[in-house]
Amino acid sequence: MLLPWISGLILLAGIAAVLGTYFSNTAEVTTKNPTGPVIPEPIVQKNVPFPDAAWRVAREFAFTAIARKHLAASYAITHPTLRSGYSLKQWETGTLPNLVFFPTAQILKYNWKNTNYAHPRDAQINVILLPTKASHQQPLTAQIGLRKVGTGSHERWLVDYFAPVSGPRVPTPK
């Protein structure tokens, strides 16, 4: 018979404690950002039309470095970060770091889920590389990234990124 009264008193005490804590807490937060300095909003660059000069470099790269032809010319249009420290002599051996071989006969632009972009000093484009007929390979989809280096009359585009989107294709049987 005493149990309901004791339970009721405990309930009232709990309610009183919660209300007392809620209404008596007058502390103010003095630090608006307690986790560190304010992080600025990222600067969103607007796209510009894809530069013709960048497209010419991307095409030349596909027909030289990727196809393993005229490797000295491809070395000149490849950014040092993509060359991985290779000298021109090492590059001309054709054993290129980070670059798959593909017998490119034709290159096409495509925009997959709006992943192509161009800013004043960097750009990326999706391409479809069509193989030579003699290779019996399937087309290869890839991304080519470019960066503008130099200033004034010495500005030029260099390829600083190349990656197949779906990996190298296996040759198809005749």
* Cβ atoms of residues 100 and 79 within 8 Å: no
Q: Residue 29: is it exposed, middle or buried by C-beta count within 10 angstroms (0-12/13-18/19+)?
A: exposed
- Cα dihedral: 73, 76, 78, 80 (round 10): 140
pLDDT value of residue 37? 75
Adjacent-strand bridge partners of 161: 145
Q: What is the pLDDT of residue 23?
A: 72
Local confidence pLDDT in tens for the 174 residues of the chain:
788 878 888 888 888 887 777 777 666 666 665 677 778 888 888 888 889 999 999 999 999 999 999 999 999 999 999 998 999 999 999 998 789 999 999 999 988 777 789 999 999 999 999 999 999 898 999 999 999 999 999 999 999 999 998 755 556 555
CB 114 within 8 A of CB 69: no
Q: Which pLDDT score, from 0 to 100, does residue 41 have?
A: 87
Position 30 scores a pLDDT of 63
Per-residue confidence (pLDDT) for residue 111, from 0 to 100: 81
Four-point Cα dihedral 96, 91, 69, 60, nearest 10: 90
Number of C-alpha atoms within 13 angstroms, CB side, residue 4?
1
Nearest Cα to Cα of residue 110 among 132, 125, 122, 123: 125
What per-residue confidence (pLDDT) applies to 174?
58
